[in-house]
Each structure stands twice: as C-alpha cells, then as structure tokens.
Structure 1
Amino acid sequence: MNRISKEHLSNLRKKFLPGTRVELVRMNDPYTKLEEGTTGTVVMVDDIGTIHVKWDCGSCLGIVYGEDSCTII
C-alpha cells in the first residue's frame, strides 16, 4: 500500500474537488477497460489518496495515488 503524507493528501483534496472534470492519462491495471483519454467527474479523494471518479463510460474505478495518473480538464 502506498503511503501519503497528510500535507500531500490535503493538497490532492484541494486540487481534485468533487465535480472536477478529469482525463485519464495512465492506469496501471491490466484488467481495466478504461483507455487513455477517458473523461469523468471526481466524486471524492479518500484517506489513502485514491481519486474516486465517475467515468463518462459508466465505470467508477478510482485513480490510485502513485500508480495511476489523470489530469484536470
């Protein structure tokens, strides 16, 4: 499990507010059907830094801190 400092977690929560639109850059999950460029809406950032996203395609897979990447659009 990845460790995240309280300060970095606070910064993630400020940057990825609920309702923020994001685009998937990279997901380190060989089983996901999400592709680079998929867009969605942030639901929340949890206590371990996972950015929970409601993807426009219907998926709700989270962006795992330190493993995956997304950008604000």
Structure 2
Amino acid sequence: MIYNEKKVEMLRQRYPEGTRICLDSMDNDPRPIPPGTKGIVQFVDDAGTLHCKFDNGRMLGVIPDVDQFHKIDQEQAQNDTQTEENIECEEITETEDLEENEEMNMSM
C-alpha cells in the first residue's frame, strides 16, 4: 500500500524515531510478530511503513491499515522499562544468592 506524501508525513510526525508500539495482529506476514509484542519505531519509509525493532529481537516493517498496532504512551513505556529493570535486578539478586549458597555449601 502506498500513501501520498501528506499521509507519510503525518505518520512520521505521529510515530517519530523512538516511539514505542505494541503489535495487536499481523495477518499478512508468513512469519508474523506475535500479538502483544512491543517494539521501537526506527523510521517511517516513503511508502508509510513503520520499520521497527521489536523486543523479541526481530526487525520488521509494520504497515498501517494492514497490520493492527497501537502506540504506547510515554508514561506506560517508562513503567514497562522500570518493571523490566526491576525483574532484571531480581534475577541478578537471585543469581547472586544462589552463588553465595553454593560457595557456603562448598566451604562446609
């Protein structure tokens, strides 16, 4: 689907680089990104495709009016990041606790 210049410019303003999105569905791709996957817009090309890097490591173009997605507001994106950081901190703490327990068991 090719958009006119005004539509492409509107998409670039609505989804600038760094905008967080969440994919709701992608039906026309042979290897679709799973629903609920979040990503970051890297750029909008001249055809109006949002090229994104998704949190699962994949990079793929999202086509407005074909793929279903929604923009994640800044506050929600920050909360998601803080939650991910907290989970990472908990995982590190759990790993450190396991290592300490192993060291204590070895020294006994």
TM category, shorter? 0.7 to 0.9
What residue in structure 2 maps to residue 34 of structure 1? 33
Q: Which runs of 5+ in 2 are unaligned?
A: 73-108
Identity in percent: 33
Question: 4+ residue stretches of structure 1 with deviation over 3 A?
Answer: none
Higher mean C-alpha deviation, range 27-36 or range 49-58: 27-36
Deviation at 1:30, TM superposition (A): 4.6
What TM-score, normalized to structure 1? 0.88
SS in 2 for 1:61: strand
Q: 2:17 — aligned with what?
A: 18
Q: Which has the higher helix share?
A: 2
- In 2: Cα distance, 1:34 partner to 1:26 partner: 8
Q: Tell me the residue number matched to 1:6.
A: 5
Give the structure-2-normalised TM-score.
0.61
Aligned residue pair count: 72
Structure with the greater relative contact order (CA < 8 A, sep ≥ 6): 1 or 2? 1
SS at 2:59 equivalent: coil
The structure with more radius of gyration = 2
Cα deviation code 1:28-68 (max 9, x no counterpart): 23522411110010000000011000000000011023321
